Amino acid sequence: MLWVFLIFITSMSSFSCKEKHQNIKVIFYHHGQETTLDPELSGFWNLIKTAEDLLITADGMMRLAVEPELINKIEREERVIEIIYPKPIELNINRSRLTIHPDRLLIPLSGELVGEGENPRAVIFHGYPAYSAGPYTNRRGIGELEKILSNMGIK
């Protein structure tokens, strides 16, 4: 009887977890062309986890005023991943020991903010309800995100 109860609790837990995350929207921008990624795509959840991890382990911050025009320009002219959560999430930034509650992340994969080289730095914009000044940076770079996208068939 206990075994049946544990199976029921486990199945309910995974169901509620899936339900909780079902409304996360991931958008890939390629020079203005917007594609909403299907949560059923292999790599979808890994992409989100990797993006969040880049923010959590950020090792720098840019001094940059973030206006809607800047975000629109990045989405129009670059390759970008945007993650929009149905409600704010809690993330603890290791470097600054700060807890933030964004409902969106935006990570450019090309452009002058990212730079050039084998594995350009990651620049992670975050916000609630709009993007905030001072995006975080991570020297780990965008290579891992690029690899996940490539495995998903997104170039």
The per-residue pLDDT for range 60-80, each reduced to its tens digit, is 999 999 999 999 999 999 999
Pairing of strands 25-30, 136-138: unpaired
Cα 105 from Cα 107, distance rounded (Å)? 7
The count of domains in the chain is 1
How much is the pTM?
0.84
Cα 90 from Cα 140, distance rounded (Å)? 22
Helix segments in 22-152, DSSP class H: 44-56, 68-77, 143-151
The answer to whether position 106 is within a domain reads yes
Q: Are 152 and 31 in contact (CB under 8 A)?
A: no
Cα 63 from Cα 82, distance rounded (Å)? 21
Q: For the CA atoms of the chain, what is the radius of gyration?
A: 17
pLDDT value of position 16: 34
The answer to whether position 114 is within a domain reads yes
The answer to whether position 129 is within a domain reads yes
Q: 106 lies in which domain range?
A: 23-151
The answer to whether position 87 is within a domain reads yes
Maximum Cα–Cα distance across the chain = 61
The answer to whether position 74 is within a domain reads yes
The answer to whether position 6 is within a domain reads no
pLDDT tens track of the chain, all 155 residues?
A: 444 333 333 333 333 334 445 699 999 999 999 999 999 999 999 999 999 999 999 999 999 999 999 999 999 999 999 999 999 999 998 867 889 999 999 999 999 999 877 778 999 999 999 999 889 999 999 999 999 999 999 98
The answer to whether position 3 is within a domain reads no
Tokens standing for residue 128: 């609630």
The answer to whether position 15 is within a domain reads no
